[in-house]
Amino acid sequence: MNQDQQAMEFGATIGGGRNDGSVTCLGITFENDEARRAHFTEELRKKLKDPEFRKIEGFPIGEDEDILNLSDPPYYTACPNPWIADFIAEWEAQKPKRAEDYHREPFAADVSEGKNDPIYNAHSYHTKVPHKAIMRYILHYTEPGDIVFDGFCGTGMTGVAAQMCGDRDVVISLGYQVKPDGTVMQEETDTDGRKEWIPFSKLGGGGRYSMTFLQRRHLSPTTTTLLWM
């Protein structure tokens, strides 16, 4: 997935594109995605002139134009993302109201996933975790609209897993059942040894939101996957 596709896919989960080509991002409607990018690029350019902003721990060593060229604001930036609080506020406002207090039993199950998925093979290495393995934990511990924090964003598999939690076919491929209303059910064994399907999660329209961070101190042509959002 290239940079434009990533931005469009991510934007669709927070208001996103319309049939006329216009896009809405953080409450602002633009004629198209290029207009969105131009607007927030200029806003980021202003932020980069702020000495206090550049004092944030981990700020990359690089020229302003390099940071801007590696960024697609506000979705991701090659420096601390100044729109994180705005995204969190918007997502929290969109989150469905919950009637009950949050409670989850500890996840206690063996997890085994193969490494032959096309997404996994797009950029594989020995310690990479398949996104389908991560999905099981996200489905267990979160509800639709929750924000999943990934502080060590290797190749972004947590972000992929969070989004895939809204995909019925992918969730079913994990061995779960999904009811028409989006309730996700898993097979358990009762005290009498009988198998039964128990609801434990919800599918949701857009899965979960993922906030992913990858920090590099020195910018170079190879650091094109820097994510702060």
| Per-residue pLDDT, 19 | 66
Residue 112: inside a domain: yes
Stronger pLDDT, 193 or 36, i.e. the higher one: 36
Residue 161 tokens, joined: 């897993």
pTM for this entry: 0.75
Task: Rounding to the nearest 10 degrees, give the CA dihedral for residues 28, 30, 35, 37.
Answer: 40
| Per-residue pLDDT, 11 | 45
| Per-residue pLDDT, 14 | 46
Residue-wise pLDDT tens digits, 5-27: 444 444 444 445 556 789 999 99
Query: By residue range, what is the domain housing residue 117?
Result: 3-97+104-212
The residue count for the chain: 229
Mean pLDDT (the chain) is: 83
Residue 177: inside a domain: yes
- How far apart (Å, rounded) are the C-alpha atoms in residues 119 and 136? 17
Give the distance, in angstroms, between the CA of residue 37 and the centroid of all CA atoms in the same chain: 19
Give the mean model confidence (pLDDT) for residues 218-226: 37
Residue 162: inside a domain: yes
Residue 228: inside a domain: no
The residue to which tokens 């020995």 are assigned: 126
Residue 208: inside a domain: yes
Residue 113: inside a domain: yes
Residue-wise pLDDT tens digits, 48-102: 999 999 999 889 988 999 999 999 999 989 999 999 999 999 988 888 777 778 8
Q: How many domains does the chain have?
A: 1
Q: Tell whether the model's pLDDT for residue 208 goes beyond 90.
A: no
